[in-house]
């Protein structure tokens, strides 16, 4: 068990989260930038559309990936309360993607 | 689009908030995007800002991970509900809601003009959710304990709700509450909130994307612009007078609120 408030485990987690977020934001910006440049240069091509969509999906997946990394870290530390909390956040994220498709409004 | 993103990002970074509260009305009122599309694009920029700001801050121990993870359960539930509600509400209702929130943010900005952060007693036991970080300004270690957890959860839920409905990060709601009611030092509250708004905005953005309101081509320049702008804003921030900037931006927000009410009355 990690001492509360001053967790060296949390410090490692913070660094891991930082790496995931940086990787996600750089990859997604590169895709979005490339997609945008191709669209401006040669119109809306399949490649450009694919890059733009990939960039957006990576952007949306980045915070979720950060939560997954947290869940794994807390599971290794056997901190089940925080495993449960982060899994709840993931379940809510999954619920939002299902809700967007399943519910029919108007 | 790119310019709007740069401007919103720079203003957001200068004021220590996400730029959404400026980007949404600009896209809607000046560029003619429907309010839902504007909110969706803004949420995409919020995710990018949250990720890059938090990646830059990781290692400073300002982000309170455990407290953040607890609050995320509430804020994501709030934004899930808000994202679904947004699909049901008429555009005029959303415009009025944005007007109200704009006024509230402007007043909060003016109210905090002279506020300084209180440095807490280092002997405090941080408890299970509290935190400890090195404060460069005072040169000491700041330790704090979380007070009134239910209030923090409620504020996070409300922030998530407003975030999805209007396309803003929601930090403007959480940070003052965490600071004033829950004993979290301002810098730690801002850093923790900046990390949280990533998942908050993702929930809303997923719903808008699934409904077809988030166009990758429109989001791309805004996302890139906001990232350029927030880098610029952070650099300018050291020179600009925060006081006058806040007064100016509060005035801009009040004008935006008035325009939103006018639009909704048409």
The whole-number pLDDT of residue A5 equals: 44
B-facing residues of A in 65-94 (CB < 8 A) are: 66-67, 70, 82, 85-86, 88-89, 92-93
Q: Which range, of A19-23, B176-180, B222-226, averages the lowest pLDDT? A: B176-180
Domain-embedded: residue A67: yes
> In this complex, which of A5, A19, A70 lies closest to B69 when CB atoms are compared?
A70
ipTM: 0.88
DSSP states along A18-34: HHHHHHHHHHHHHHHHH
In terms of Cα–Cα distance, which of B166, B179, B175 is closest to B193? B175
pLDDT-derived band at B14, boundaries 50, 70, 90: low
Give me the pLDDT at residue B120, please. 54
Q: Which long-range contacts (CB under 8 A, 24 or more apart) does A82-86 make?
A: A82/B66, A82/B69, A85/B69, A85/B70, A85/B72, A85/B73, A86/B69
pLDDT in tens, B188-218: 888 898 899 999 999 999 999 988 889 998 9
Residue-averaged pLDDT of chain B:
83
The number of distinct structural domains making up chain B is 1
Q: Confidence band (pLDDT; 50, 70, 90) for A8?
A: low
Q: Which of A3-12, A71-80, B174-183 comes out lowest in average pLDDT?
A: A3-12
State both tokens at A40. 């401006």
Is A97–B206 a contact, with Cβ atoms under 8 angstroms apart? Answer: yes
Cα–Cα distance measured from residue B192 to residue B178, given in angstroms and rounded to the nearest whole number: 10
CB contact under 8 A, B132 and A5: yes
Structural domain range at position A91: 11-98
Asked if A93 lies within 8 A of B76 by C-beta distance, the reply is: yes
CB contact under 8 A, B221 and A36: yes
Q: Does residue A103 fall inside a structural domain?
A: no
pLDDT tens-digit series, residues B41-66: 999 999 998 898 888 877 778 888 99
**B194 is in which domain, residue-wise?**
2-265
Note the pLDDT tens digit of each residue in B65-84.
Answer: 999 999 999 999 999 999 88
> Which residues in chain B touch residue A35, judged by CB atoms under 8 angstroms apart?
216-217, 220
For residue A5, being part of any structural domain is answered with: no
Q: What's this model's pTM, rounded to 2 decimal places?
A: 0.87
Q: B54–A70: do the CB atoms touch at under 8 Å?
A: no
Q: Which of B54, B58, B67, B21 is nearest to B185 (CA)?
A: B67
Average pLDDT of span A17-27: 94
Look at residue B122 in the predicted model and tell me its pLDDT: 58
A79: closest CA of chain B, how far (Å): 11
pLDDT (average), residues B176-185: 82
Q: Say if residues A55 and B220 touch (Cβ distance below 8 Å).
A: yes
Long-range CB contacts (within 8 A, 24+) of B133-140: B133/B60, B133/B61, B133/B62, B133/B187, B133/B188, B134/B61, B135/B185, B135/B187
Return d(Cα B237, Cα B216) in angstroms, integer: 30
| Separation of CA B226 from chain center | 13
**Does any CB of chain B come closer than 8 Å to the CB of residue A100?**
yes
Q: Do A21 and B59 touch (CB under 8 A)?
A: no
pLDDT in tens, A36-66: 999 988 877 888 999 999 999 999 999 999 9
pLDDT at A1: 37
Asked if residue A4 belongs to a domain, the reply is no
* B43 contacts B167 by C-beta, under 8 angstroms: yes
B122 touches chain A (CB under 8 A): no
In a domain, A106, yes or no: no
Contact B257, B106 (CB under 8 A): yes
Q: Judge: A4–B63 Cβ closer than 8 Å, yes or no.
A: no
The residue-averaged pLDDT of B105-113 equals 76
**How many separate domains does chain A show?**
1
Q: Report the C-alpha gap between B165 and B87 in whole angstroms.
A: 9
CA distance A60 to A66: 11
pLDDT at A6: 44
Q: Are B9 and B228 in contact (CB under 8 A)?
A: yes
Residues from chain B contacting residue A92 (CB–CB below 8 Å): 73, 76-77, 80, 203
């Amino acid at each position: 068990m990690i001492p509360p408030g001053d967790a060296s485990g949390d410090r490692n987690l913070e660094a891991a989260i930082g790496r995931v977020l940086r990787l996600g934001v750089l990859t997604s910006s590169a895709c979005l930038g490339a997609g945008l440049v191709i669209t401006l240069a040669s119109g809306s091509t399949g490649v450009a559309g694919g890059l733009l969509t990939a960039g957006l999906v990576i952007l949306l997946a980045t915070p979720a990936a950060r939560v997954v990394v947290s869940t794994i870290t807390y599971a290794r530390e056997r901190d089940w309360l925080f495993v449960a909390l982060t899994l709840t956040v993931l379940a809510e994220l999954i619920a939002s993607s299902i809700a967007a498709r399943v519910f029919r409004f108007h | 689009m790119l310019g709007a993103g740069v401007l919103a990002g720079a203003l957001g970074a200068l004021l220590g908030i996400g730029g959404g509260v400026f980007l949404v009305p600009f896209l809607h009122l000046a560029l003619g995007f429907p309010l839902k599309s504007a909110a969706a694009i803004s949420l995409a920029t919020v995710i990018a800002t949250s990720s890059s700001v938090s990646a830059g801050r990781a290692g400073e121990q300002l982000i309170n991970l455990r407290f953040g993870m607890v609050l995320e359960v509430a804020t994501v539930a709030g934004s899930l509900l808000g994202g679904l509600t947004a699909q049901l509400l008429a555009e005029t209702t959303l415009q009025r809601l944005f007007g109200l929130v704009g006024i509230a943010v402007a007043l909060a900005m003016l109210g905090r003009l002279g506020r300084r952060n209180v440095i807490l007693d280092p002997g405090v036991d941080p408890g299970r959710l509290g935190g400890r970080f090195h404060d460069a300004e005072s040169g000491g270690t700041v330790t704090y304990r979380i007070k009134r957890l239910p209030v923090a959860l409620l504020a996070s839920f409300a922030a998530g709700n407003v975030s999805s409905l209007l396309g803003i990060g929601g930090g403007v709601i959480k940070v003052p509450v965490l600071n004033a009611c829950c004993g979290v030092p301002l810098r730690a509250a801002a850093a923790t909130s900046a990390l949280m708004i990533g998942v908050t905005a993702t929930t809303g953005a997923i719903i808008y994307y699934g409904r077809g309101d988030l166009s990758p081509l429109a989001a791309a320049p805004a996302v890139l612009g906001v990232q350029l702008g927030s880098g610029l804003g952070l650099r300018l921030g050291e020179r600009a007078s925060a006081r006058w900037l806040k007064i100016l931006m509060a005035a801009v927000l009040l004008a935006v609120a008035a325009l939103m009410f006018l639009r909704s009355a048409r």
